[in-house]
Structures are given as C-alpha cells and as structure tokens.
Structure 1
C-alpha cells in the first residue's frame, strides 16, 4: 500500500478509537457546496493583519533606543510581553501595528517623548494548522495571515497522485464543538468555487481516491459532540 495512504489510515483509525461513536456515516455525506461554505466560509477578498497570540515570538524595535528594543520577546500565556521600564504590556489579540501603538503609549507616558515602536511577528508559534492525508509532506504549518484552502494544501507540497481533489475535508473546532465540511479542490483551483478560509487549529484531510472513510455523525452536525475517522478498506 502506498505509504501516505497507510499513514492516513492509521491517523484516522486512531482518532476514531479514542472516541465512542453513536453512529457513523460515509465521508460522502459531509456537507458540500453551499452547505460546506456555511461551515467553512470563503476567505474575504480584503486581507486582515495577523493577530498576536500566546507563545508567539516578537521583534520589538524602539527607534534610537537599542536598550529598550527586544529581538526575541515571547508572548506569555496571559498574552503579555515584558518590556524594559514599563513591564508587562498586553498584546494578545492585537495586530503588529496595534501592539506597536500600545507599547509606544506606555513608553511615552513616563519615559520617552514621542517614541517610535515597530513590532514584527517572528514566529507564530500558537497559530498552526494540520495538513494530512494524501499530501506530499503532511505536518503542522504556521498561519501568519489570511490563508485559503489552496494555499494550505500547497504548504504540504501539494497532493499526491493518489489524492482525490474532490474529497478534501476541513475539520474545525469552535465553541466546544467540532464540524467538518468537504470541498472540491479542483473546482477551487479553476476558479469555479470560492476558496474557503482556513483558520488556526483547523485540520485538513486530503482524501485518497480509492479509500472509503467514515466520519462520526456528531462531527458532521453543528453543534457536534465528538468526531472520528476510520479507513474501511485499503482501496484496492
């Protein structure tokens, strides 16, 4: 059996084994078309700045103040970054530009006159997606801005020759529930369908062309209780 198919089979079987399923349905029953985009919306045409999160690593430059600048400032679990003179500054949930303004405001209150601060996100540690299944290099990948499904699959070096581009499933957890939706990547590539937006924490499973997969029924509904994937056969 082709190695990526074996890897996906084991992954999906392991996920299912850890969760008790009350009912199962075939992957073909996952929402498609408009119903899929209702769960995983298309990415907006206008981009949005990346939002800083806990564990991200920042470069903070204070113009003409090297003693106050930081090369590797890690955001704490509480969403703070510790700056010289002013101590902890809340930056989680802010864009780099907004964080620059907040830090400049703190420094300008007591220590500097009109400080110029620039914040760069060096490592988006906490913002990652999982791409697995029939892709050339499955794994975890950082999300540093707006990301569509086509680009997400490309980060894993693209689909293998055994991939079914019509069976690309996006699994998302939100508000304590998990949901899945299936997309036709070939149609998206041709511009015949919108490119859904991929968010940090999403899991993308590129289905094999000849392996049937089942999902827990709870995963396919909103809200859902649990989720599971099981490979039924080797697809031969």
Structure 2
C-alpha cells in the first residue's frame, strides 16, 4: 500500500513535469507509466533498422563489378556517398537496404542491367546516445546492437548517490518532432515495469530538475498528439 509520502512524491513529480514543459494548460504532460511505453517501447517490442548517418563508413559491393565496388566509402557531411560512374548518391537517413536500392537504380538507368548492390555499415558513427543529468560520467556513448534504458544508464557508470532514479526522461526525435517520456528506473530494476528500448540519437536524462536545466531553454510544449506523448519543439 502506498504511503502518503509516496503519493506526495509522485504528485510533486507530475507537477514538476508540468512546470518543465509548460503544458498543464493544454493537458500535455510527459507521459509516464503505461503511456511512456507508447513513446519509448519495451526492448523486446521494437526492431529498429539502422539509418545511415554522415561520417559512417560503408562497404558497397556491386555484384560482379569490382571496379564499381567500394571497401571504405565514407558518407560526407552532406549525407552523400561518392560512387564511380554515378557520382554523389544521397544515403543519409536511409537503411542499408534502401541505399542499396537507390544505388542499384542509378546504375541500372545507364550502365548495368539489373545490378545487384549490397551495403554493409562498417563504422556506424551515428549510433550514439547521450546520457546526462544525475549520473557519474555523463557523455556520448556508442550503441552496438540493441540497448535498453538500464544499459544506457550503466554506460554512464550509473546514477549518482542522490540521483532521482524515479525521474528518468528519454527524449527522442521522431518524424521531425522531439518527444519525451518519463520512466521509473527503480521499478524497471525490480521487474515491475518493462525496460524500454533506447535508440541511436536518444537523450537520457536522470532527474527532472537536471532535464529542466539541460533542455528548459529550448523546450516548447505542444498539445498531446495521439495517445500518451508530448511533442517538443515541433521540429523547429
């Protein structure tokens, strides 16, 4: 049974989120509990396909065409890869399969009949997350494979001794909008709540007060979109 102090702490946390996002007047608050998992699904529920980023290094193989294949093709800051014959090809934001199709299409327009192209991401610079707030060693961390919220916090050497681990904000860029959700790390550790999937590009912030200090000046709360999440910045 909840103690009065526990209920008061939860109420204060919700009030702080409202103040952080300036969204109470529109009933838009950072989702928590079941609603948080609408924004940041549990790890076992999501299979993310990596999207190529600037500075990634690709192996591009054109079947039976070694002269057109590249072993270490670096994606430029403009998000393109330079290919023989066809020049610059935009690949940033595409999956490896989608980029393969684009290159094959360009080669097939003028140079090859039914070209087969395979792309392997050798160095995924874009696979990084930010862990900040009340953790021992905040910073940028690479993501190799799939990662959960517990693992992300562990990369930063765990929460500080006085960290508010019931107040973990995850911020994600989706379809041009920044969205946030609040999680209770203590409940996840106890197996009382699912461990959400953390994706490349996500920002994890431990402690609502730290989230306000880190993000406060850039946040613009909007009315809730759909069920259980808040859009931040509106893509601006």
Indicate the residue corresponding to 1:17 in structure 2.
none
| 1:92 lines up with 2:92 in the alignment | yes
Question: Offset at 1:131?
Answer: 0.5
Whether the 8 Å contact between 2:128 and 2:142 is mirrored in structure 1 is: yes
More helix by share: 2
Whether the 8 Å contact between 1:51 and 1:93 is mirrored in structure 2 is: yes
Q: How does 1:152-231 map to 2 (within 5 A)?
A: 152-172=152-172, 179-207=179-207, 215=212, 216=216, 222-224=230-232
Indicate the residue corresponding to 1:132 in structure 2.
132
CA separation in 2, counterparts of 1:179 and 1:105?
35
Alpha-carbon deviations, 1:34-75, whole Å to 9, x = none?
Answer: 343344444562513212233332121234543322233222
Q: Secondary structure at the match of 1:67?
A: coil
CA separation in 1, counterparts of 2:141 and 2:204?
11
CA separation in 2, counterparts of 1:109 and 1:23?
53
Question: Offset at 1:143?
Answer: 4.4
Whether the 8 Å contact between 2:221 and 2:233 is mirrored in structure 1 is: no
Indicate the residue corresponding to 2:37 in structure 1.
37
Alpha-carbon deviations, 1:139-159, whole Å to 9, x = none?
Answer: 112446654322322333444
What's the RMSD between the two structures over aligned residues?
3.9
Whether the 8 Å contact between 1:173 and 1:179 is mirrored in structure 2 is: yes
Question: Offset at 1:173?
Answer: 5.1
Question: Offset at 1:203?
Answer: 1.9
Alpha-carbon deviations, 1:175-211, whole Å to 9, x = none?
Answer: 7765543211232244322233334433212249xxx
TM-score (norm 2): 0.63
- Matched residue pairs, number? 200
CA separation in 1, counterparts of 2:75 and 2:206?
33
Indicate the residue corresponding to 1:48 in structure 2.
48
Pair 99,173 (structure 1): closer, same or farther in 2 beyond 3 Å: closer
CA separation in 2, counterparts of 1:80 and 1:99?
10
Q: Secondary structure at the match of 2:45?
A: coil
Indicate the residue corresponding to 2:17 in structure 1.
none
Pair 203,190 (structure 1): closer, same or farther in 2 beyond 3 Å: same
Pair 45,174 (structure 1): closer, same or farther in 2 beyond 3 Å: closer
Question: What 5-or-longer segments of structure 2 have no aligned partner?
Answer: 1-19, 223-229
More strand by share: 1
Question: What 5-or-longer segments of structure 1 have no aligned partner?
Answer: 1-20, 227-236
Indicate the residue corresponding to 1:61 in structure 2.
61
